[in-house]
Structure 1
């Protein structure tokens, strides 16, 4: 493994203590000013690690940006832990620092990936951040199809094919579908797009992204959901939970969806889907039908 320079602590003890105190008291602007004025050779490893960790914890992107660029990218001094890489990635995502997520993933591959097993939550999170960063940063500049292609290349084709992928992890990817036409969405869902799909959760994710689009009528969403379930033998529980929430207080659609679930051979809904159904149908004129679905419902 590459050896790292051990810094001599040439900062005066009082200044060094004040910098630590500023960091611990979240006075990051003060600490950053000192850091910028201090020659690199006078800074010690522990101080930089503490500063990076605490400034990320409190969302001080200026400090994170400076330390990451100067002491990880320009001068590769720091080795950043997987947990902190993910925290930096999420901060960079919401601060729209689009160049950082790729660098985080490369750093992770270089120093940590070989130590992890096949199912690696850090790899999942860093790839997710890359996809979300691209979706957010190019919101109106690239089509949803291009963003979906990146998801397939970065996550579907990179992670084990049984890795669970949830729509709640991709709010910006969901938002980026808003300007897609109905034809474009149906083409991705039901026609051969030329994209290779490996993970059994990827197409349900695409369906769920569509179901979360507010501009489409419920009748059309349910029809697409039913068509999807006829074509693909894939998990439907998350999709049902989404539709149950959107059909809240509409007993007709809720009972129609439950009847369809039974027809498809679903024997037990997840606690999340069960709760969404019960909360949605309670108080409607169809509430009496709840007893017809007791065997499908889970406790929550």
Structure 2
């Protein structure tokens, strides 16, 4: 929210889940499981779904699988919540193709990560995002996660990109609260916390909400943090955020990727998930038991 503008409704909702991509036991895309999981997440409080991001194992799913996932999830949730499709790659042309595929499949928005490995300078990065935005009719959520891509979307670059009518949001995993506040004060970009421990602090300074891996397993508990804040009970919001912290740490700050930990819990609960694709490996039984203990403690108190 810019200092000179009135607040705008979040373009993709507040409580978004970075949904896992369910696979069958033999590793194929589980379209039925994806539909059942999507419907459950919406019923349990998610008002937006983000597909084929980091948690959705986008590096190991094919272009056809990505488009099919958008189509079947959109069939399951209809117009109840927006479906945002991850389309970012290291190649501008490939990203443009995925954007067109997602739009045709029924996506409501696009998640576009910075090109990774090549580490383009800021002017090239800006041109990349503008080309994607120009090639699609869908709104874009830029994904700033320099710890994975090697490239930060600098605040000055975000401020320039905010002038594009279809660049509307940022998934913020930059761990730079000062830089984020600088962009919030200068633009109308909607900032979503991509790191769950920042969900409440970012929301308190004008963020739009979160895009959460942990929401795959505890959607209601995380949404309750924002709902308490919206109700004016900041103390309750803080209490609920702190209650979630042990599970957040185990799922997102251990040695395992969030995809692995989320699927471990979902599988243990007999919910759609299935295996992870190599090079990822499943969580051990011991790790899964520890995750379930933290999950049960949170859901029993929230």
What is the TM-score when the length of structure 2 is the normalising length? 0.36
What is the TM-score when the length of structure 1 is the normalising length? 0.37
Which structure has the larger Rg over C-alpha atoms? 1
- Name the structure, 1 or 2, with higher relative contact order (CA <8 Å, separation 6+): 2
